[in-house]
Amino acid sequence: MLVGKKFESRFYKELESLGIYWYSFYDYPGKVEGNNLRFMAKNPYDVFYYYCGMLYCIELKTTGGGLFSIGRNKMIKPHQVSSLHKAHMRGCRAGFLLESREKGFIWFVKIEDFLNFVEVSGKCSINWYDISVIGFCLGKSIKGIVDSISNSY
């Protein structure tokens, strides 16, 4: 199983253990490039779930490196950003759940803070320092993460 899928699976198991209604979009397999399987579908984000009277739309990302690239054919894709923004504009709570495998921490970044960062900085990537400025550190474990995301609002 790919590392990103393992991160998603751990999050989905946490939602399930709490009895939360959730739905994840199926990633349709695409083409194989070398030893890597590339997914081709343009799902709006990875998962939405209903918790404490609010709908959450979340894109999950994990990296072993120091940053997340932004743009077409990058880690954070334009259609994901626009889908999360659209959900936010319609009253949903939306953002990125970002895991650093190297540091062992998980962060939540609201889409509105992410968009402001991109506009102000003009950067094509976001590093852990930037994430620490605009996001919320949720700790090292998936356990309890749903409440932590809710409490960030």
Tens of pLDDT, residues 74-130:
899 999 999 999 999 999 999 999 999 888 899 999 999 999 999 999 999 999 999
Domain assignment present for 23:
yes
Residue 138 included in any domain = yes
In a domain, 117, yes or no: yes
Q: Would 62 be classed as within a structural domain? A: yes
Please indicate, yes or no, if residue 53 is contained in any of the structural domains. Answer: yes
Looking at the domain assignment, is residue 35 inside a domain? no
Judged on CB neighbours under 10 Å (0-12, 13-18, 19+), 43 is: middle
Residue 48, domain CATH = 3.40.1350.10
Domain count, the chain: 1
Q: Which domain holds residue 57?
A: 3-28+44-144
Which is higher by pLDDT, 42 or 19? 19
Exposed, middle or buried: residue 11 (CB in 10 Å: 0-12, 13-18, 19+)? buried
User: Does residue 99 belong to any structural domain of this protein?
Assistant: yes
Query: Does residue 151 form part of some domain?
Result: no
The pLDDT tens digits of the residues spanning 52-82 come to 999 999 999 999 988 999 988 889 999 999 9
Three-state SS for 21-82 is EEEECCCCEEEEECCEEEECCCCCCCEEEEECCEEEEEEEEEECCCEEEECCCCCECHHHHH
